[in-house]
Structure formats: structure tokens, C-alpha cells
């Protein structure tokens, strides 16, 4: 590999690490909004199903033991695990769980502290059966690889699953394109606290609040 290519890959890794660290910062902000994660019910949509944390392809080395990684073709549920470690009751919803064995799902739960829910987002309302969450989050799901999903329809399904005074935090990486407009979200009853924006070119989040008077 020539030196310039090594530098390019290193720069890509640094950029990606910054983006991921923005996501984690956003999650800590969410923790503040919720008054702590302790005992709160959180749904992570497309959380990632990788449970073997040894094969890191990217370690952001933020000194907290938090790593972000894709294991083979499976993504590591780093955000769900952070929230679980901070006292949240976290449900990880992912289609990758559909083909897992019962023992794989148990191992996932034991290793991450996250309760796996197999299913496809298209049928999320049927699967959740009216359960409500203090917070619904996703990272790198709205833009990729689910870009063909109708997110307005999906958010309409998720609105009733959001508790009053609950929050959403949806993170996207740079380059991921999300077709979701602010007006439709407001018409549903969400207060849009932060829209997706390429502020520093390093990814962004959509932050929503379902207010008491919604």
C-alpha cells in the first residue's frame, strides 16, 4: 500500500471516530434530557447484532472501554450497550436477530445487557404491541442501509410508542441521506429540537420531544 493511501485510510478512520464520538455526546445529552437513564425504557432501532467484541475494525479509544465496531458484517451495538451500562432498560430491535438461535440471543443479552427484539422496521408497530418507551433511538439506520424505508410512515408508527415527555435521538453519518421533513414530524405532534444537519461535516442527529400537551 502506498503512503498516500495509508494516510487516506487513517484520515477516514479519524473522521469516522469523530462522527461516532458526536453520536455518543448526543446520547449523553439525551441522558440529561431524561434525567438519567436509570430505569428508563429505551428502544434502539437497528442496534446491531454483533456480539463478538474481539474483532474490532475501529476502536475510537475514548478511554471509557467503549468501542465501535463491525464484526464481520454485523455491527456492534455500542450505543445500546452504553445506555444499558448506565442503567437503562434497553431493547435492541434488529432484523439481524431474526435468523439467530435462542442461545445466540441469550448470549447477546448476557454480553450486552440489551434485550434483543427480532423484527423488521416495516412491521415495528405490530411487534411492539403498544409498548411505550422513554426514548427511541437509532444510529446509522435512517440513511443506510434502510434508505428505501418510508421514515415518515415509520415515525407515525413510532409516535404512539413514545411516552409523553419522551425523546427521540436518530443519528446519521456523513453521506447518509435521510428523507424526512421537519413539517411532517411537527404535524405528527413532535417538537423538533434538532434537525439533521451537516454542521461540521461529521454527521448529525435528529432530536425530537413528545411534549405533555402533545
* Rounded Cα gap, residues 86 and 38, in angstroms: 7
State yes or no: residue 205 binds ligand SAM (CB under 6 A): no
Nearest to ligand SAM of 55, 164 (CB atom) = 55
Query: Smallest distance from the beta carbon of 71 to ligand SAM, in angstroms?
Result: 10
Of 34-42, 91-99, 151-159, 186-194, the segment contacting ligand SAM by CB under 6 A is: 91-99
* CA 1 centroid distance within chain: 34
When binding is defined by CB under 6 A, the residue of 51, 121, 158, 178 that contacts ligand SAM is: 121
State yes or no: residue 47 binds ligand SAM (CB under 6 A): yes
Nearest to ligand SAM of 149, 193 (CB atom) = 149
Adjacent-strand bridge partners of 94: 118
When binding is defined by CB under 6 A, the residue of 94, 133, 190, 196 that contacts ligand SAM is: 94
State yes or no: residue 35 binds ligand SAM (CB under 6 A): no
Q: How many positions of this chain bind ligand SAM (CB under 6 A)?
A: 17
The torsion region of residue 93 among left (phi > 0), alpha (psi -120 to 50) and beta comes to: beta
Q: Please, which residues have CB within 8 angstroms of residue 154's CB and are 6 or more apart in sequence?
A: 121, 122, 124
State yes or no: residue 46 binds ligand SAM (CB under 6 A): yes
* Rounded Cα gap, residues 214 and 208, in angstroms: 12
Grid cell of 102 as nine digits: 435462542
State yes or no: residue 66 binds ligand SAM (CB under 6 A): no
* CA 74 centroid distance within chain: 14
* Rounded Cα gap, residues 43 and 46, in angstroms: 9
* List of residues contacting ligand SAM (CB under 6 A): 46-49, 75, 94-96, 120-121, 139-141, 144-146, 149
Amino acid at each position: 500500500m502506498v503512503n498516500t493511501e495509508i494516510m487516506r485510510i487513517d484520515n477516514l478512520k479519524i473522521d469516522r471516530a469523530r462522527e461516532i464520538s458526536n453520536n455518543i455526546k448526543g446520547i449523553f445529552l439525551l441522558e440529561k434530557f431524561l434525567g438519567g437513564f436509570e430505569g428508563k425504557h429505551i428502544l434502539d432501532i437497528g442496534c446491531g447484532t454483533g456480539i463478538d467484541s474481539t474483532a474490532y475494525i475501529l476502536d475510537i479509544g475514548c478511554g471509557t472501554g467503549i468501542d465501535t465496531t463491525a464484526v464481520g458484517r454485523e455491527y456492534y451495538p455500542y450505543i445500546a450497550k452504553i445506555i444499558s451500562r448506565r442503567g437503562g432498560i434497553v431493547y435492541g430491535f434488529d432484523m439481524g436477530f431474526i435468523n439467530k438461535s435462542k442461545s445466540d440471543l441469550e448470549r447477546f443479552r448476557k454480553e450486552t445487557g440489551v434485550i434483543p427484539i427480532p423484527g423488521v422496521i416495516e412491521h415495528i408497530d405490530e411487534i411492539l404491541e403498544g409498548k411505550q418507551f422513554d426514548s427511541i433511538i437509532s444510529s446509522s439506520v435512517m440513511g443506510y442501509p434502510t434508505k428505501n424505508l418510508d421514515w415518515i410512515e415509520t415515525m407515525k408508527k413510532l409516535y404512539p410508542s413514545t411516552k409523553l415527555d419522551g425523546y427521540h435521538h436518530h443519528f446519521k453519518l456523513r453521506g447518509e441521506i435521510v428523507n424526512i421533513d421537519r413539517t411532517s414530524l411537527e404535524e405528527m405532534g413532535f417538537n423538533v429540537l434538532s434537525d439533521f444537519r451537516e454542521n461540521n461535516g461529521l454527521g448529525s442527529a435528529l432530536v425530537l420531544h413528545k411534549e405533555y400537551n402533545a
